[in-house]
Amino acid sequence: MHWAFLFLTVFLITGPAHAEPLPYSPEAAAELGPEEQRLQAERHLQRQPPDVVEARRWLESAAESGSVEALGEVGWLYEQGLGVEPDVGRALEYYREADEAGENEYGLRIGWMYVQGIGVEPDRGVAEAWFRRVIEERNDSAARLALASLLVSDALAGLRPERGTEARDLLIQALEDGETDAAFYLARMYMEGIGNLPADPERAVHFARIGAETGHPDMQAWLASLHASGELVPQDLVEAHKWASLAAAGGNQTGEQLRRQIAAELSDNELREARRRAFQWLNDR
């Protein structure tokens, strides 16, 4: 996302020195096109320390000159209060303009702000409307995943259980479109049975395996535990160690615990085979 990239740029850039940026002035901006103005903002962010105030001035000018990317980026600065006093109202204005210009991620950002109450009163109805708008107008599966997460949350809380099947349909479409986090939600839904969607352990394992294969550490840890116990899948400690190692490498603490426990039960040959499978999985990605 542009706003997340900008955040990282402000705090993490350590690359080589670039051309010295121009100080902002209306006269200097008039000589440059929108993207050249964005470049000036980036150069100010690459200074040590970053000059966020000058970057914000250039981004505002670039946005006014027609840079869609700058709309979202300066909105993020106003939301976070970087180089300017925090102003969620201004941030929302920029986000709306960026969304209307075709940048789906900012419609989603507005939706999440209403879910989480970031500078606004929490309003699930407004958030849902934003997610549905991006789905209907842009056929965006990141929005399908976002909306489905709200529906799953409602179903888990016992609210509107009929939304379980709608959440499933949204998640399956999102998964087909490459939103791999959808596999996590689908596995959980089918394991527990949520809302009007009955439990189906075999389907749960199917989606857990998809999630594990696409690199989701939680799904890798769960698949490891299933293979270790022989629950729903054939018991296979070598395969269990493989998935536990991959989950642990992804930062999953359960995976790390399982890796150690399973390793104590494997022979040296089995442990070598488990490691070979894990390395093979990494090489095949």
pLDDT value at position 24?
95
pLDDT value at position 18?
54
pLDDT digits (tens, 9 = 90+) for 25-47: 999 999 999 999 999 999 999 99
Q: C-alpha angle with apex 35: 112 to 96, nearest 5 degrees?
A: 25
pLDDT value at position 195?
86
pLDDT digits (tens, 9 = 90+) for 158-194: 888 888 999 999 999 999 999 999 999 999 999 989 8
Tokens matching residue 86 = 């925090």
SS3 194: strand
Instruction: Indicate the domain borders of the chain.
Output: 1-98, 217-285
* Separation CA 89–CA 78 (nearest Å): 9
pLDDT value at position 263?
96
pLDDT-flagged residues of the chain (< 70): 1-18
Where do the H-state alpha helices sit in 32-123? 34-45, 52-64, 68-80, 88-100, 104-116
Tokens matching residue 3 = 């706003």
- Cβ(60)–Cβ(49) below 8 Å: no
- Cβ(156)–Cβ(145) below 8 Å: no
How many CB atoms neighbour CB 166 within 10 A?
Answer: 17
